[in-house]
Chain A
Amino acid sequence: MRHVLPWAYGLAAFAFIYLPVGALVLFSFQDGSLPVPPFEGPSLRWYADVLGDDDLVAALLHSLTVALGSAAVAVALGFGAAYGLARHHLPGSAVLRGLLIAPLTVSYLIVGLGLLIVVQRVGLGLSLWTAGIGHVVINLPLCFAIIYASMGAHQQNAERAARDLGADEARVVLLVTIPMLAPAILAAFFLSVMLSWDEFIIAFLLTRFDVTLPVEIWSMLRSGLSPRLNAIGSLVFLVSVAGILVIEFTLFRRRRP
């Protein structure tokens, strides 16, 4: 009994954790028009349907663009801030760190609402650009924190050595710091891509005509359960899993150099 109980609990927990995802993926292969038991299939018709839908494919491309673009900006800004604060003595650096981390403590809804109010006041139109700006705001603190935390004395010694050998600051950063921090920078980048890829509320508030995939899925949801939603949801999940595996590998490489 003592040995069975933990495994039974573990099994039940995994069943609970995988129940919705399992139902989502299984009934994306449904041959009928309702994604519920009994299962008929397997059929790929809903995947064909989804990939033939111009709106969905456009939204998917928008999401990829916003995710990659906002992650690149967030990582670049985050790296700059981490390098500037870790390697140079700036007055009030604790306050500056706090300022950079602050957006993490605020709900996405509030970040989005604040930006929406300002964008409307300024008279700027809502677009994928405004959603991208919002995604940089939420991802910049993470990128900064991850990269800042991995800037150790080890890299600093290598930087000093390079400087003593006559490298200017640009060379030090490009040839020493960035290669040595590559795992952390990549992890920050992929984490940002995934969070932007999944993000709904900021994208919902800050886009209008061109929308991202979660917003498009949201508007499809109004018509209730549909195998099309299962198919597109499964594809989104697949992309997320691919992302998490990439992060796992980049982080693993750092642990076992």
Chain B
Amino acid sequence: MSAGSDQARGWGFAAPALLWTMAFFVVPFVVMGAMSLATLDGRTLVWGLHLDNYAELASKAYLARAIFVSLEITLTVTVVSILLAYPLAWIIAFRVPQRWQRLALLLAILPFWTSYVVRSYAWLLVLAREGVVNQTMLGLGLISEPLTLANTRFATVTGFVHFFVMLLTLTIYANLVQLSPNYRRAAMDLGASAFQTFRHVILPLTLPGIMTGAFLTFVLCIGDYITPQILGGNTELTVPQVIMVQLGRRADFPLAAALAIVLMGIVTLAYLAMARWLRLDRL
């Protein structure tokens, strides 16, 4: 087989996927970028190289506020999820007998696969004013008035944390079981306490797993519309919620596109900040 025909066949196999990605991902992305530089004159779209939409992000308080809210929620969720997931991954990796580990992990992340609309609804069921928590506590006489749990940032964060604890448990567990037990033994033999072993040996070695999970959490959390919309209500808007408002009521596609580009920019910055720990190919 000559090199030329080898290449031609290779292209033949790869071309459909490449063309699909170009047509339905790259082209839309470029058009969206161009759209973010267009403006609306009344209802008509004016293409061009305007920075009006980006200027609006800086000048309109509710837009800047949305970026701030999104970042706050995302960072809170990422940190809390790591803190809750690490011990769980640890327990599954080191306390659960080997033959049950796979089952324990499967069970720990099974609800991860609930549709995210359904999962958010399920949390609403738990946290609503007439929901499971309030009804149970009222029934037991622990409270006399229902607590406001839903339609708050607390509800949004809870819904997110629930999802990402499962994701992070998976990535951290995968990292923990790859560690040779010799590292721990060596540290102990050299006189390190359990805490010192963790702090100076295990934690640095599991940093890639933590960071991979943290990055995925960051990306998925900051781009999600459903969870803040269902659980947070409209008390404060995140960037995806503002994008959806632009698309729906106001039909302001250029501003929505600009917000999407900003969202991408934030994710890119997060990636660059965490790149040296990320091993996305080893997922």
A→B interface (CB under 8 Å): 6-7, 9-10, 13-14, 16-21, 23-24, 27, 34-38, 76-78, 80-81, 83-85, 87-91, 96, 99-100, 102-103, 105-111, 113-118, 121, 133-134, 136-137, 140, 144, 169, 194, 197-198, 200-201, 205, 213-214, 217-218, 221, 225, 229-230, 233, 236-237, 240-241, 243-244, 248
Closest chain A residue to B84, Cβ basis: A13
B255 CB to nearest A CB, Å:
12
**Chain B residues proximal to chain A, CB less than 8 Å:** 3, 6-7, 9-18, 20-22, 24-29, 31-32, 35, 84, 87-88, 90-92, 95, 106-108, 110-111, 113-119, 121-126, 128, 130-132, 135-136, 139, 162, 165-166, 219-220, 222-226, 230, 240, 243, 247, 253, 256-257, 260, 263-264, 267, 271
Is the pair A217, B17 in contact by a Cβ cutoff of 8 Å?
Answer: no
Chain A residues with CB under 8 Å of B117's CB are 200, 214, 217-218, 221
Please pick, from A83, A107, A233, the residue contacting B118 in the complex, using a CB distance under 8 A: A233
CA gap between A79 and B26 in the complex, in Å: 20
Is A14 in contact with B17, judged by CB distance below 8 angstroms? no
Q: How far does the alpha carbon of A243 sit from the alpha carbon of B131 in the complex, in Å? A: 30
Interface contact B21-A23, CB-CB below 8 Å:
no
Taking a contact as CB atoms closer than 8 A, the residue among A77, A108, A117 that contacts B17 in the complex is: A77
Q: Judge whether B126 and A37 touch: CB under 8 Å.
A: no
Please determine whether A90 and B14 come into contact, CB atoms closer than 8 angstroms.
yes
Report the bound CA distance from A107 to B165 in whole Å: 20
A105–B128 contact, CB under 8 A?
Answer: no
A–B Cβ pairs within 8 angstroms, 30 of them: A10-B88, A13-B84, A19-B126, A23-B132, A24-B125, A80-B16, A81-B16, A83-B14, A84-B13, A85-B14, A87-B10, A88-B7, A96-B14, A103-B21, A105-B271, A107-B222, A113-B32, A113-B247, A113-B257, A114-B25, A114-B260, A117-B28, A117-B253, A118-B31, A136-B20, A200-B115, A214-B116, A221-B121, A233-B115, A237-B114
- Give the CA-CA distance A222 to B35 in the complex, in Å: 32
CA distance A35 to B125 in the complex (A): 8
Structural contact, A106 and B264, CB atoms closer than 8 A: yes
Give complex CA distance A17, B161 in Å.
10
A110→B32 contact, CB < 8 A: yes
Tell me whether chain A's interface is mostly helix, strand or loop, or mixed: helix
In the complex, the answer to whether B29 meets A114 with C-beta atoms within 8 Å is: yes
Whether the pair B14, A84 counts as a contact (CB closer than 8 A) is yes
B162→A20 contact, CB < 8 A: yes
Q: How far apart sit A144 and B264, CA to CA, in the bound complex (Å)?
A: 23
Q: Is the interface of B mostly helix, strand, loop or mixed?
A: helix
Q: CB distance A10 to B13 under 8 Å?
A: no
The distance from the CB of B162 to the nearest CB of chain A, in whole angstroms, is 7
Chain B residues near A83 (CB-CB < 8 A): 13-14
Listed residue (B16, B88, B115, B128) with the most chain A CB atoms within 10 angstroms of its CB: B115
Contact of B91 among A6, A217, A237 (CB under 8 A): A6
Contacts of B3 in A (CB 8 A): 89
A241 CA to B107 CA, complexed, in Å: 10
Query: Which residue of chain A has the shortest Cβ distance to B13 in the bound complex?
Result: A84
Q: A38 vs B139: C-alpha distance in the bound complex, in angstroms?
A: 9
CB within 8 A of B28: which of A21, A102, A115, A214? A115
Contacts beyond the supplied A20-B111, A81-B13, A96-B18: 17 A-B pairs with Cβ under 8 Å: A17-B108, A21-B111, A23-B126, A36-B128, A37-B139, A77-B20, A84-B12, A102-B21, A105-B267, A140-B17, A198-B113, A198-B114, A217-B121, A221-B121, A230-B125, A240-B114, A244-B106
B28 touching A114 by the CB < 8 A rule? yes
Question: Which of A17, A34, A218 touches B165 (beta carbons < 8 Å)?
Answer: A17
Question: Which residue of A has the minimal Cβ distance to B92?
Answer: A10
Cβ 8 A contact of B256, one of A38, A89, A113, A200 = A113
* Cα distance, A243 to B113, chains bound together (Å): 9
The reply to whether B243 and A109 form a contact with Cβ atoms under 8 Å apart is yes
Using Cβ atoms and an 8 Å threshold, which residues of chain B touch A244?
A: 106, 110, 113
Q: Which residues of B contact A16 (CB under 8 A)?
A: 162, 165
A110-B223, A114-B32 as given contacts; A80 in contact with B14, CB under 8 Å = yes
CA distance A217 to B107 in the complex (A): 26
Q: How many Å from the CB of A79 to the closest CB on chain B? A: 8
Contact of B35 among A117, A229, A240 (CB under 8 A): A117
Residues of B within 8 A of A230 (CB): 125
Question: How distant is the Cα of A246 from the Cα of B278 in the complex, in angstroms?
Answer: 29
The reply to whether B88 and A13 contact each other, CB–CB distance below 8 Å, is yes
- What chain A residues lie within 8 Å of B226 (beta carbons)? 200-201, 218
B271 surroundings in chain A (CB, below 8 A) = 105
Q: Which 5 A-B pairs have the closest CB atoms?
A: A88-B10, A107-B223, A114-B28, A84-B13, A84-B14
